[in-house]
Amino acid sequence: MTKQMKRGPATRLTPVLAAALGGALVLTSCGSSGTGNDDGGSIGYVAEVADSSNAVAGGELTFGSYSFPRTLDPAETQAAGSTGGTEMAAIYDVLVKRDSRDGKFVPQLAETLDVDDDDMKWRMTLPEDATFSDGSPLDAAAVEWSMDRFGASYASGSQTWNHVVKSVETADDRTVEFQLNQPWQDFPVLLATGAGMIVAESSVNGDRFTPIGAGPFTVQNYAPDEALVLTAREDYHAGRPNLDKVRFVPTTSANMQLDSLRSGELDMAFMFRNPDAIAQVEQDGWAGYRDLQGQGAVAFINQREGRPGQDIRVRQAIALAIDPAIIDQRTFGGNNDSPVGAAMFPQGSPWHSDVDPLVVDPDAARALLDAAKADGYDGKLTYVTTAEPTAEAGALAAQAMLGAVGFDVTIDRASSVSDLIRKLYIVNDFDIARGGMSLVDEAPYLRLYDGLGSDSGDNASGYADPKMDSLLEELLNSQSEEASQGIIDKIQTQVNETVPYLVWAPAQIRVVWDERVQGAERSVDNIILLHRVWDNEA
């Protein structure tokens, strides 16, 4: 007996969670009735919905990317809306998407997705006669090859893939079977992100990569740091896209994006971590999608051998000394409604916990630091940041608050974002550094494991705690929303006690588009699917 996902309502999200998410994602006008939060808006679409039967073909769309992808290889570039996920989905499509109408996972490039009653074996069928843009068939063997390549990479999500998936097998030309190591009801989220972006084998020629996919568009021109131009595929398996061309361009800031939207240079843009600009977007009444992701602003504390953060008293003192509200006030002026706080999942998330996070307590911080100093610690810390103004302001605010309880903090300015990444993830040369680990509500295990798993390659802090590893395994194996919430409550408690990193604020996200843009569909991690977009004024 199997349970099946077809094109339409699906069964792979628990009913309670589906209702929570689905209620947050109903297409509405600006007065959205989705999940409320404290940022003055609701999670969900902000758009007037046109009748899709009136969709017309033709036209071009220019999209302002937040972080322009350096490569279009999903085995290298993280498949998230902020980092190239929308760009790659236009080329490769995704096997599964998250249906914004009811919060469920449904097939996109795939035709069906079934799961056995024990949630251990998933079976996917592919559409008949679907092809890559080079004319080669999108068959089960091609999917297996692409997924094996993804699993062998260092891509975001590949460790989870290898941990969860025991084998990928081809039952016939159109059927792929996934045998899991343990039940995981959120498995489809992997098929909606990097692993589900199927790359043609012809894409790889030695060290050279050419983006060849089975998605709705194909690459006309790609110049890193300049533009990515895509043209519609006449032979896309689901029918030719409405748009003739999509152009992605890099942008330097949310304020620049807003100016370009107002002038008509941009039709869509991905805004991230700029509460002031996002507040202006809301005030102006732009259409689009708004989201709030937990752990959008965090401070990593290096806990490796020889670092001050190896001592739990030092980590606790750091956490109790720094007030997230002051960080927000110094970085963005405190003149917006941006939510702040140390909760992993903020209000508005279906996973928001009743367990309170740590509360600022300078006296307790001073006492913990004094105890560590009595055992020989000199009180010195190095805070690594970039010279970007808001990052610099945050570093200076943290330096002042830590200094007030007795720390001696030196600020080390990385030469670029790339240099900061090198210091955090490659050479681990920092004591504290600000970053982000935006959580994915559709599958909370995904990013929690990245940041908290002792064997995770994305664990910048070097945090290793057997109890936390056990809790993460419990979350992975959870079979109900109620059970998952109880485990997340325990994870928040363990975070409070062991301080793997500091949580300062969730990330505000606003995907913005002109009101004439219709048919944009948001999927996992704010990847926007463009295969049915049309210009309502064409």
Residues 290-332: pLDDT tens digits?
A: 999 999 999 999 999 999 999 999 999 999 999 999 998 888 7
Percent share of the chain, pLDDT over 90: 75
**pTM attached to this predicted model:** 0.87
* Lowest-pLDDT range of 48-57, 85-94, 394-403, 428-437: 48-57
For residue 231, CA distances in Å to 79, 160, 209, 242, 244 come to 21, 33, 19, 11, 6
User: In which band, very low, low, confident or very high, does the pLDDT at 50 lie, cut at 50, 70 and 90?
Assistant: low
d(Cα 128, Cα 107) in Å, to the nearest integer?
14
The residues near 206 (Cβ < 8 Å, ≥ 6 apart) are none
Q: Is residue 22 predicted with pLDDT exceeding 60?
A: no
pLDDT band at 7 (very low <50, low <70, confident <90, very high): very low
Q: Which residues pair with 169 in a beta bridge?
A: 177
Could you tell me which residue, 108 or 41, shows the higher pLDDT? 108
pLDDT at 446: 92
Which of 462, 413, 466, 437 minimizes the C-alpha distance to 302?
Answer: 462
Res 437: pLDDT:
87
pLDDT tens digits, residue range 502-535? 999 998 999 999 999 999 999 999 999 999 999 8
Radius of gyration of the chain (CA): 23
Tell me what percent of the residues of the chain surpass a pLDDT of 70.
Answer: 90
Closest CA relative to residue 440, chosen from 351, 356, 358? 351
pLDDT tens digit string along 112-164? 999 998 889 999 999 999 999 999 999 999 999 999 999 999 888 899 999 99
Q: Which tokens sit at 6?
A: 């077809």
The mean pLDDT value for 480-496 works out to 97
pLDDT tens sequence across 54-63: 888 999 999 9
Helical pair 481-498 and 445-452, crossing angle rounded to 10 deg = 20
Which has the higher per-residue pLDDT, 362 or 27?
Answer: 362
What is residue 418's predicted lDDT score, i.e. its pLDDT? 76
The domain ranges of the chain are: 2-286+514-535, 293-508
Higher pLDDT, 334 or 74: 74
pLDDT per position as a tens digit, 272-287: 878 889 999 999 999 9
Confidence at residue 32, expressed as pLDDT on a 0 to 100 scale? 30
35 falls in which pLDDT band (50, 70, 90)?
very low
Distance CA 185, CA 478 (A): 8
Strands of 2-5's sheet, edge to edge?
2-5, 112-116, 121-125, 175-180, 165-172
The two domains 2-286+514-535 and 293-508 share their CATH topology (first three levels equal): no
| Residue 17 confidence (pLDDT) above 60 | no
- Return the pLDDT at 225: 84
- Domain 293-508: state its class: alpha beta
CATH class of the structural domain 2-286+514-535: alpha beta
Sign of torsion, CA 280 284 288 292? Answer: positive
Mean pLDDT for the stretch of residues 17-43:
35
Q: Which pLDDT does position 118 carry in this prediction?
A: 86
Q: Which two tokens stand for residue 247?
A: 């152009």
DSSP annotation string for 18-71:
HHHHHHH-----SS--SEE-TTSSEEEEESPPPPGGG-----EEEEEESS--S-
pLDDT of 268 above 70? yes
